[in-house]
Structure formats: structure tokens, C-alpha cells
Structure 1
Amino acid sequence: MKALLLSFGFGLVAVLQAQEFPDTEEIQDVTGTWYIKATASDKEIPEELESVSVTPMTITALEGGNLQVNFTALIVDRCREVSFVLEKTDKPDKYTVDGGTHVLYVMPSAVKDHYIFNWESKNHAFQFRLAKLLGRDPDINQEALEDFRNAARVAGLNAEKIFIPKQSETCSLRGN
């Protein structure tokens, strides 16, 4: 379960090897509040994650260009805090997590106020690639979703099995 939660939390993404990344000195500002709108993976998404509800994600800038990511997910009737640091690399769109075991690319979507986080696990025990569509508001933008679907397809991810989590402002157990 820890590996699943980690993959969902990092679930931020997979490497889009076939696409060119922006050739800029500085990636756009991704700090603030973001909503996880969709996820595509190269693996089957476990059934228990299909009932996942997520709170908005907060990304905070740290010293040295690193980013702190925090959010809460309701998974199988348990609120789980997810927090990790994206460690800056020499490329403006590339970050690592967990000492380089995971690589994350941050790419602006073709749709304003949306980003695609592409994630690749380099952990030999549990390798995966996934992508997450993030947006500034909780509503699904069909144009951004189609852009994400195309990006997932180019990356070799399962673009037909895109997971769209339920949005929630706070994590609370049903009936509480």
C-alpha cells in the first residue's frame, strides 16, 4: 500500500520522452494551489484508488529552487497526508524526489493555468511512469483534458484509462 500511495502522491508524473521540453532558463511559477484533475499511467490503477478523493495541492518554493508539495487524499476511508520535496536539478523543468529515485518533469499545458507533471520511478523494486494534469481551479477543462490525453498517448501511457479523482476542499470520512 505504501508503494501505491507513494506512486499516487508522487503520482505527479512520467517522462514524456517523445516531446521536447521548453528550452528556457526558468520554468514558470508553479507555486500556489493546484487541483489534481487527471492521472494517466503505464500501469493499471488499482481498484481501491478509483474511490480516491483529493484536496487541493499546495506547492511552496523553498531555498535553492526546491519545491514543497502537500495534499491530503481520502483512500479506502482513510485520510492520508502526502508531502514531499521536489529537488531542483540543473534543468529548469526537471526535479528529483527521494534522493533521485524518482524524476519529475514540469511542463506547461497548451491550456492556460494548467500543467502536466510527468513522473518516472527509478526504484528497481517498483518502476512506473505516470502523468498528472494540474489546474488552478477544480473544474475539468475539456480542452486541457484533451491536451493531457494527447501528451499521455505520446508518452506511451494508457490514454484510454485516465483516472479523474474526486475533488474535495477538506479530507473527511464519510458520515463524519
Structure 2
Amino acid sequence: MKALLLSFGLSLVVALCLLQVSGTWYVKATASDKEIPDKKLGSVSVTPMTIKTLEEGNLEVKFTVLYNGECLQIDILLEKTEKPGQYSAFWDTNLMYIYELPVMDHYIFYSECQIFEQKVYAGELIGRTLENHEALEEFKKFVQQKGFPPENIIVPEQRGKQVTLEITS
């Protein structure tokens, strides 16, 4: 589960530096091609992400996840690849891509992750503001085109600086 949370977080930050955007970004929704059972998900919260551009175009990403009552500080290094708009992490087991939405200040980050000899595909909707129903509808169209089951969409309930995730259909 922690690996899946990391993959969600990783792909959320890829485009921020490509577009030379800094600051706070909120997780609006996430989805995966793999089922995330309610019992395994438990109680999950995340804080908004902070991004720092490093030398050579690499990115440092920081966020906190509350998982089963424990706060986990996640620090991830995304390394710029030779392909424009693509980053890798975790010894090239994760690749991230960006999709700009027609909704201002909203992006979808799409990741391909290798977890325990299995490919996992995930998408995340991020935005500068806490709510935008138009962006969420665009995200739902995107994940449908990628073949993700609609029940695998996780929509965060925003609570101050923490984000509580819940399964919706």
C-alpha cells in the first residue's frame, strides 16, 4: 500500500517544474488500474505537496501521509530523463508524464510503476485550489479512456492542511 501511495505522490509533481510552477498543490483525485480494497486502504490523509527544483532539472518532492494512524514524511527525488516531460524515480521503476487540462491551474499526472514485478498505472488530478468540479469531470474522462475502473477513483476530502482520502464510485 505504501508503494501505491508513493506512486500517486510521485506522479503528482512531475509537471510542476516542467511548467516552472512552484508552491502548494492539492491532490484533487487519484485513480489506479488496480483495485484498492476498502479494508487495505484504511484511513489515509496527505498534506499538500511542496516541490523544489534541483540542479540539472531534477525535482525534490515532499508531502506527509497519515496511514493507519501514523504520519509518514515522504521525500522523493525525481530524476529528469532524456525525454521531454518525463521523470524517473526509484531506480527507473517509476516513470511520470503530464497532461494539461483545459481547466486553469489543473493537471493530470500519469505514472507507470513497477511494483513487485507487476505494472501499476496511476493518474492524479492536482490543482491550485481546493475544489473544481469541472476539473474532476475531466479527470474522470481521462481515467475512463485509460481503462481504469470508476470505483478505483479516490476523491480527497480537504480538511485544512490535511487531506482525507475516501473511496467513491
Q: What residue in structure 1 maps to residue 6 of structure 2? A: 9
Q: Figure out how many residues of one structure are paired with residues of the other and give that number.
A: 156
Q: Is contact 1:106–1:115 with CA below 8 Å preserved after alignment?
A: yes
Q: What residue in structure 1 maps to residue 76 of structure 2? A: 84
Partners in 1 of 2:125 and 2:132 — Cα distance? 10
Does 1:158 find its partner at 2:155? no
Partners in 1 of 2:2 and 2:96 — Cα distance? 17
Q: Is contact 2:103–2:135 with CA below 8 Å preserved after alignment?
A: yes
Q: Is contact 1:54–1:166 with CA below 8 Å preserved after alignment?
A: no
- Select 2:85's aligned residue among 78, 90, 93: 93
CA distances 1:79-101 after superposition (whole Å, capped 9, x unpaired): 11111111111222111111211
Unaligned runs of 5+ in 2: 12-16, 164-169
Partners in 1 of 2:118 and 2:22 — Cα distance? 29
- Select 1:39's aligned residue among 10, 15, 30: 30
Q: What residue in structure 2 maps to residue 107 of structure 1? A: 99
State, as a whole percentage, how many aligned pairs show the same letter. 42
Amino acid at match of 2:28: K
CA distances 1:81-133 after superposition (whole Å, capped 9, x unpaired): 11111111122211111121111112222211111111111345343111011
Unaligned runs of 5+ in 1: 15-25, 172-176
Q: Is contact 1:38–1:165 with CA below 8 Å preserved after alignment?
A: yes
Where in structure 1 do 4 or more consecutive aligned residues deviate above 4 Å?
A: none
Q: Secondary structure at the match of 2:139?
A: helix
Partners in 2 of 1:82 and 1:126 — Cα distance? 22
Q: Is contact 1:13–1:132 with CA below 8 Å preserved after alignment?
A: no
